[in-house]
Chain A
Amino acid sequence: EIVLTQSPGTLSLSPGERATLSCRASQSVSSSLVWYQQKPGQAPRVLIYGASNRATGIPDRFSGSGSGTDFTLTISRLEPEDFAVYYCQQHGSSVPLTFGGGTKVEIK
């Protein structure tokens, strides 16, 4: 099973600041990496797929990069609605699909 480790666990930032979230895989997943955003009481929403492709309707302040074992989600300028929990998920192996433990982006 591929383990995904997200860091930091919590990121305390102010609106307008840049957020950099990390996801590290225990073995290579190539570019088979997805980022989700989840707000309290809601289901997750896809932000990025294929490590760097924005999903439909996702603002361009969200960007993803990386391949192999190290991935980054960057939010260039935080908007009030961006404060949420972010998860990475890999589908590089067949099964099981696995998720990272999440990074909470909170208002400083």
Chain B
Amino acid sequence: EVQLVESGGGLVQPGGSLRLSCAASGFTFSDHYMEWVRQAPGKGLEWVGRTKNKANSYTTEYAASVKGRFTISRDDSKNSLYLHMNSLKTEDTAVYYCASHGGPAAAGKVFDYWGQGTLVTVSS
């Protein structure tokens, strides 16, 4: 069974930093692109960014709203994905999901697997 479990959310002041983690199991993590998607309270979904797999040089890509402030990394030996968030703003308040694709043809395109999400609140 595929499982994605996020952790690390919490309350942080504007300008602060936080690191989210996503522990994966039930699939070959190292083969997969891994994504972060967020959802502000009562709002829609927003793609945050991704890290591709080793075969694609672990290339990372980001939404314009977080580029330069957020960094995505992965540790294939630990089946783990990370989101390092710096210079946080109140508008970054959201539930953060890690997500991934099912079959290889869906890499970077369709999010078949989702975690339960972790809430990040940026407030003074």
| Total contacting residues, chain A, CB less than 8 A | 23
> B84 near A: Cβ within 8 Å?
no
| Total contacting residues, chain B, CB less than 8 A | 21
Q: Are A99 and B46 in contact, CB atoms less than 8 angstroms apart? A: yes
**Closest CB of chain A to B87's CB: distance in Å?**
20
CA distance A44 to B110 in the complex (A): 11
> B58 near A: Cβ within 8 Å?
no
A46-B111 contact, Cβ under 8 Å, with A95-B61, A96-B64: yes
Q: Are B97 and A91 in contact, CB atoms less than 8 angstroms apart? A: no
- Give which listed residue, A34, A87, A96, A99, contacts B110 with CB less than 8 A: A34
* Residues on A with beta carbons closer than 8 Å to the beta carbon of B106: 49
Query: Which residues 57-97 in A have Cβ within 8 Å of B in the complex?
Result: 87, 89, 91, 94-97
The residue on B at minimum CB distance from A90 is B109
* Residues on A with beta carbons closer than 8 Å to the beta carbon of B115: 43
